[in-house]
Amino acid sequence: MDLLIVAPKGKMGRLITQVASEKEDIRIVGGLGPAGRDYIGKDIGAVAGIGKEVGAPVFDDIEKCIDLCDVIIDFSMVDVSMEVLRAARAHRKALVCGTTGFSDEQAAEFQAAAADIPVMKAGNTSKIVNLLYKLVEMTARTIGDETDIEILDLHDRNKLDSPSGTAKEIGEVIGEAMGKDVFADAEYGRQGRCPRKDGNIAFHSIRGGDIPTTHTVFFIGTGERLELTHRADNWKCFAVGAVDAARFLLTKEPGSYSMADCLGF
């Protein structure tokens, strides 16, 4: 597999470059960075700081490198990701996108692109997080109607969107399990006098320091509660999952895929 990595100097891009460079069946053909940066043209291994060169440069124009690859992995910014999506669709390249914070209209563009390319828009590429989704689904089907459901996400101070993409995906899982649109009357934090509404869910977000990425789903009953929690001590689990997802898409027909499809859940 020939792989193009977007934002190789970013936190996820560095880890994806490291993980991919260790795979014998993957060849990194380039990286994509913003125009004007001093590392454009340098080896992606040096840019990502993985301690070795891999023989592929960082480009500043996707049109100069997209035809070198089979699959693209993109963990960048919303505006960049939309440009990458459109180029991937035009050049018929598979795309794994882990960027979060898209609007409904932008998310719909990913769905439309699936008519032409294999695409995976995943808020979280961790295998264990996707197992958490299955546990949340089972719990919501079983006791969702008789409990109050709250979702809490913790991220470091540099996290841009809130709730997190993973928290939103948890909400989607709950909605599908319970057969309703949980976002229609969802609450986002609370302030002042605000008695809890029956049947809705609430999202809460904490941002600060370098706190490990953590997601907890509360199913709160009378006299008891169930808490389902995932904690990521570092981000390598997400990078491993992203590379596995790219390998999965390599042989797939055009369509919209999920990490659950990749993992066989």
Are 216 and 246 in the same domain? no
Please check the confidence at residue 16 and state whether its pLDDT lies above 90.
yes
Distance CA 255, CA 265 (A): 18
Compute the distance between CA of residue 163 and CA of residue 69 in angstroms, rounded to an integer.
33
Residue 66, Cβ neighbours under 10 Å: how many? 21
- Residue that has been written with the tokens 């454009």 in this structure: 40
Total of domains in the chain: 2
107 pLDDT above the threshold of 90:
yes
Are 76 and 20 found together in one domain? yes
Residues 212 and 251 in one domain: no
155 in catalytic set: yes
CATH number at residue 74: 3.40.50.720
Give me the pLDDT at residue 246, please: 98
| CA pair distance 40, 64, nearest whole angstrom | 12
CATH number at residue 165: 3.30.360.10
36 and 107 in a single domain? The answer is yes
The single residue of 155, 168, 204, 230 carrying the catalytic annotation is: 155
Q: Are residues 96 and 38 in the same domain?
A: yes
Nearest CA among 215, 196, 206 for reference residue 151: 215
Taking residues 117-146, report their average pLDDT: 95
CA distance 6 to 241: 16
Tell me, yes or no, whether 142 and 225 share the same domain: yes
Show the domain range for 90: 2-121+236-263
Please, are residues 259 and 123 in contact by the beta-carbon 8 Å criterion? no
Question: 117 and 8, same structural domain?
Answer: yes
**Residues 117, 175: one domain?**
no
- Does the pLDDT of residue 234 top 90, yes or no? no
Distance CA 173, CA 60 (A): 37
* Predicted TM-score of the model (pTM): 0.83
Pairing relationship of beta strands 27-32 and 2-6 according to DSSP bridges: parallel
Q: What is the pLDDT of residues 196-227, one digit of tens each?
A: 989 999 999 999 999 999 999 999 999 999 99
Q: Are 104 and 151 contained in the same domain?
A: no
Tell me, rounded to whole angstroms, the distance of Cα 240 from its chain centroid. 12
- What pLDDT score does 265 carry? 79
pLDDT score for 160: 87
If asked whether residues 256 and 203 sit together in one domain, one would say no
Do 150 and 202 belong to one domain? yes
Q: Do both 47 and 141 map to the same domain?
A: no
CB-based burial label for 27 (10 Å; 0-12, 13-18, 19+): middle
Provide mean pLDDT across the span 105-127: 96
Identify whether 159 is a catalytic site residue.
yes
H or E segment at 26? none
Question: d(Cα 184, Cα 215) in Å, to the nearest integer?
Answer: 21
CA distance 203 to 217: 10
Kindly give, in sequence order, each residue whose CB lies less than 8 Å from that of residue 45, ignoring residues fewer than 6 positions away. Answer: 17, 21, 51, 52, 53, 54, 56
The residue from 9, 42, 64, 159 that is catalytic is 159
Question: What is the pLDDT at residue 6?
Answer: 98
**For the purposes of burial, counting CB atoms within 10 Å of the CB of 119, is it exposed (0-12), middle (13-18) or buried (19 or more)?**
buried
The fraction of the chain above a pLDDT of 70, given in percent, is 100
- Whether 264 shows a pLDDT value over 90: the answer reads no
